[in-house]
Structure 1
Amino acid sequence: MSPSRWLPSLLLTAALPLLAHAEGPAYGPELQGFEYPYTVKHFAFQSQGKSLQMGYMDVAAHGKANGRSVVLMHGKNFCGATWDSSIKALSEAGYRVIAPDQIGFCTSSKPDNYQYSFQQLATNTQQLLKALGIQKATLLGHSTGGMLATRYALQYPEQVEQLALVNPIGLEDWKALGVPYRTVDQWYERELKVSADSIREYERSTYYAGHWKPEFDRWVDMLAGLSKGPGKTQVAWNSALIYDMIFTQPVYYEFKDLKVPTLLLIGTSDTTAIGKDIAPPAVKAKIGHYEVLGKQVAGLIPQSTLIEFPGLGHAPQMEEPAKFHQALLGWLSKYNPVRG
């Protein structure tokens, strides 16, 4: 039985010592040893017959509070910690900011057997927000977090004020476009071989159009350290299940059903597409073009606004934080909730 079964609902996480490793840091299965920019708390809850815990940061408004909350949803190769500059910018602008790590990721539980779906992750997050007393919030989802934020807004439209998507994946249905299916077992074998070098090269070529900034290395070490720590097989198996969820559960067909004001923040040099590495050349050539996908999906979403960042890649909030946050905060400020 996992020790997390006895953790109370809002327990501060205990930072375990960094595990020494000749080729860089190694972290515990819930990222023990990696430093987060703000205090990490844990929300304990039951799901699928398991006692789980979701790590999250809850950062109060710095200065004059505007009474609004923003929930940040991280990507597949990211964590709540990678939102550090966005948390600071939003907090300074008066927002309460909640940045959870989803189950299967980062500081949260890696269950042995879990049926992953975007609906389940949305339900988990909704339970967290309810426990925190948040009845309505703005969602900001990046990468895979964009798929999750979309699903959450479809599932709980009355609880969402605004929806902002940063280079979300799932702007196309890769399987319908001819990308071959990779089994969970194949994903697992692939994830067991992950290294800092392979992560860096993938992100450099796919996320950032061949460019790299030294500050990105911290996030590479975060992922690589999680993948080679004592929970390596646990981390790899959960990662494989999550990739299968991403590939087989598109939100693309439901963008037209979104009922909330939606902002697309798109770095146009991004070429991310799940399974592109095993796709036939003709298929590979036609997927992952964000300079086209952003415009196409903006046309599908009823109340959409598109802001493009020419020359930036998969994470404009990390590449050019000042430019990104100016655009985001300008759009968020246009919403004036009517409060009783």
Structure 2
Amino acid sequence: MHFCYQLIALFTLVASLLSPVHGAVRSDAIEPYNATLDNFDYPFDVGRFTFDSQGETLSMAYMDVKPQGDPKATVVLLHGKNFSGFYWERVASELVGLSYRVIIPDQIGFGKSSRPEHYQYSFAGLANNTRQLLEHLEVEQATIVGHSMGGMLAVKFAKYVKDKTARVILINPIGLEDYLKWVDYQDPQVFLANELNKTPESIRRYQQKNYYDGNWRPAYQALLEPHIGQLKHPDYPRVAKNNALTYNPIFSEPMVYDLPQLTVPVTLIIGTRDRTGPGRAFKKPGVTHKLGQYHVLGKEVADTLQQGTLIELDGLGHMPQFEDWQQFKAVFFPLFED
């Protein structure tokens, strides 16, 4: 009997060590969260930037984390589609420790930012919103880091806001291929139906399969908390609508043609196991092309860059910064050392 208790204690200890700051959570233990995650704690103080866009007054949430003393420079961290700024906590903390100022916006339609009733989403528009935020914060120039969909936005920002872009770092960005060459365009209504049919378990299964090669750790569960909480709230139809609308720029604004035009240094950090391929379910008749072959796409895109560096992380997928922190850390933070 004592041996059984010792085993239980050991398993509990291991789970606690694997959990991040927010901890592992069970779906039934998550409280409902409204459209702007008002009761969901972020790791740093959240500021608000209010501006007018498309006839509406919108609020853009952001974290502005500063080091002790004067910063070396500024880094902007752009989140992916299925995330918001809070998941950059560990990366931001390390950068601040290296004396960088770190700005982490939630894009309109994500996280704690406004989710409008009606909004025409585009990467050009989101880049413009981000430009206004940086001007509001008196940032002259920054390193722009983007993960997943944030990588697409980072490239568009570098294209349209050249004067504020010192360099670009892309972590497993989507958009390394022109999806509409291979798949049929879908009306946002198709994606809205999918969003409204989501369950806590379906969200977890998607991420487990597509991000972590079928594996699962308690640390991953914490990333699901805001999504599961919003499923429980009466605001969810508005959240679902915005989630559906943000698919449009992913398909209609490919970045693969923009990358060769960038004159700033671009670093690609690619987990080569990644197979993320938006629209895979909507392939055109007769198409046999395999989407999301990151072990091939990284090399192909790197060859087109004017000032490009490719860093491949063998055996890692779409979330290298969570799947293997030490391996990611070893290649990412040296980019910020003198």
Q: If the length of structure 2 is used for normalisation, what is the TM-score?
A: 0.88
Map 1:75-224 → 2, pairs under 5 A: 75-177=80-182, 179-224=183-228
Matched, 1:234 2:210: no
Which segments of 5 or more consecutive residues in structure 2 lack a partner in the other structure? 1-26
**CA drift at 1:284:** 6.8
Q: CA RMSD in A?
A: 1.7
Q: Which amino acid aligns with 2:154?
A: A
- CA distance in structure 2 between the aligned counterparts of 1:86 and 1:22, rounded to whole angstroms: 29
- The answer as to whether partners of 1:26 and 1:229 remain within 8 angstroms in 2 is yes
- CA distance in structure 1 between the aligned counterparts of 2:49 and 2:163, rounded to whole angstroms: 23
- CA distance in structure 2 between the aligned counterparts of 1:302 and 1:47, rounded to whole angstroms: 34
The answer for the alignment partner of 1:37 in structure 2 is 43
Alignment size in residue pairs: 312
- The answer as to whether partners of 1:29 and 1:232 remain within 8 angstroms in 2 is yes
- CA distance in structure 2 between the aligned counterparts of 1:325 and 1:157, rounded to whole angstroms: 28
SS of 1:175's partner is helix
SS of 2:179's partner is coil
- The answer as to whether partners of 1:298 and 1:304 remain within 8 angstroms in 2 is yes
**CA drift at 1:320:** 1.9
- CA distance in structure 1 between the aligned counterparts of 2:260 and 2:43, rounded to whole angstroms: 36
- CA distance in structure 2 between the aligned counterparts of 1:280 and 1:223, rounded to whole angstroms: 31
Q: Deviations over 1:138-162 (max 9, x none)?
A: 0000000000000000011121111
SS of 2:305's partner is coil
**CA drift at 1:65:** 4.2
- The answer as to whether partners of 1:167 and 1:314 remain within 8 angstroms in 2 is yes
**CA drift at 1:180:** 2.3
Computing the radius of gyration over CA atoms, which structure comes out larger, 1 or 2?
2
Q: If the length of structure 1 is used for normalisation, what is the TM-score?
A: 0.88
SS of 1:253's partner is coil
Find 2:72's aligned residue among 67, 70, 84. 67
Map 1:211-290 → 2, pairs under 5 A: 211-279=215-283, 283=287, 286-290=290-294
The answer for the alignment partner of 1:3 in structure 2 is none
- The answer as to whether partners of 1:276 and 1:284 remain within 8 angstroms in 2 is no
The answer for the alignment partner of 1:16 in structure 2 is none
The answer for the alignment partner of 1:298 in structure 2 is 302
The answer for the alignment partner of 2:34 in structure 1 is 28
The answer for the alignment partner of 1:14 in structure 2 is none
